[in-house]
Amino acid sequence: MIQLLFLVLFAEGAAALLLMVKIGPLRELAMRGVEQAKDGKGPAAVKTLACTLLVIFMSSVASILRIQNRGIKLGTVSPMDQVLWRTHLLEASLIGIPLSSSSLTIFIFFTSTWWNLYNCTVGGGNDWGLGVDLVDFFGN
């Protein structure tokens, strides 16, 4: 399961990178993939997956706390408990990072979409008097 979580972590990092940086047609392909995931059965599947990962994450955190409390009660932690604690900690971090980075990816997607809509309807420009154009920051 740890290898699968590493794969998910790197895939989300690549998706976030493709959404942030304009690299030829790859960004458009990533945007279309996210847009198609919003249609049909995509939202239900994503919510189900996120809830499942959240339950596994909370189970790992509960196991970590249970092992720590056992160590506090006994005054020492057995080598087996140390191995279990490290495994649960790795699992919890590998699940927690994709959950938080997926939130970041969704934020980047919607912010980029909002800026595109803003530029098309209002005409863009730097109306807030900022030194940089935020649309260029998102690679549009």
Domains of the chain, by residue range, sit at 1-77, 78-121
Task: Return the higher-pLDDT residue of 72 and 15.
Answer: 72
- pTM value > 0.75: no
Q: Cβ atoms within 10 A of the Cβ of 105, count? A: 21
**21-76 per-position pLDDT tens digit:** 777 788 888 888 877 777 777 778 777 878 888 888 899 999 999 999 988 888 88
Distance, CA of 79 to CA of 122 (rounded, Å)? 64
**78-103 per-position pLDDT tens digit:** 899 999 999 999 888 888 888 887 77
Residue 105 has pLDDT above 90, yes or no: no
Distances (CA, A) of 66 to 11, 36, 59, 81: 32, 42, 10, 10
Residue 123 has pLDDT above 70, yes or no: no
Question: So what's the pLDDT on residue 83?
Answer: 93
Mean pLDDT of the chain: 77
Q: Which amino acid is at 119?
A: N
For 117-130, what is the mean pLDDT?
A: 53
The phi, psi pair for 77, rounded to 5°, reads -115, 130
